[in-house]
Amino acid sequence: MSFDLNTLLSAELHDIKNLMQSLNVCHETLAEQLQGQSQYQDNITSIQLHSQNLNHRLVELLSILKLQNPDFSCGEDEHWLIDTLTPLINEFKQLNNLDITTTFDAEFNGFYDEQLVEIALRNIFTNANRAGATKVNVEIQEFEDASWLIRLTDNGPGFKSEHLNQDSFTPQGAENGLGLYLIEQAIKAHVRAGKEGKMQLSNHESGGAITQLLFP
pLDDT at residue number 172: 62
Phi and psi angles of residue 169, each rounded to the nearest 5 degrees, phi first = -120, 150
Residue 6 has pLDDT above 90, yes or no: no
More confident residue, 2 or 27: 27
Q: 27-66 burial string, b = 16+ CB within 10 Å, else e? A: beeeeeeeeeeeeeeeebeebbeebeeebbebbbbbbbeb
pLDDT band at residue 79 using 50, 70 and 90 as cut-offs: very high
pLDDT at residue number 10: 67
pTM: 0.77
pLDDT at residue number 4: 61
pLDDT at residue number 5: 60
More confident residue, 202 or 68: 202
**Which tens digit of pLDDT belongs to each residue from 8-57?**
666 776 777 778 778 878 888 888 888 888 888 888 877 877 777 777 77
Packing angle, helices 41-68 and 177-188, rounded to 10: 50
pLDDT at residue number 48: 76
Cβ–Cβ under 8 Å, residues 128 and 156? yes
More confident residue, 108 or 181: 108
**Which tens digit of pLDDT belongs to each residue from 133-188?**
999 999 999 999 999 999 999 999 999 888 887 777 776 654 545 688 889 989 99
pLDDT at residue number 76: 78
Residue 69 has pLDDT above 90, yes or no: no
pLDDT at residue number 139: 97
Q: Look up residue 74 and give its amino acid.
A: C
- Could you give the CA distance from residue 136 to residue 129 in angstroms, rounded to a whole number? 9
pLDDT at residue number 77: 85
- Could you give the CA distance from residue 211 to residue 190 in angstroms, rounded to a whole number? 17
pLDDT at residue number 1: 43
What is the sign of the dihedral through the CA atoms of 124, 196, 83 and 14? Answer: negative
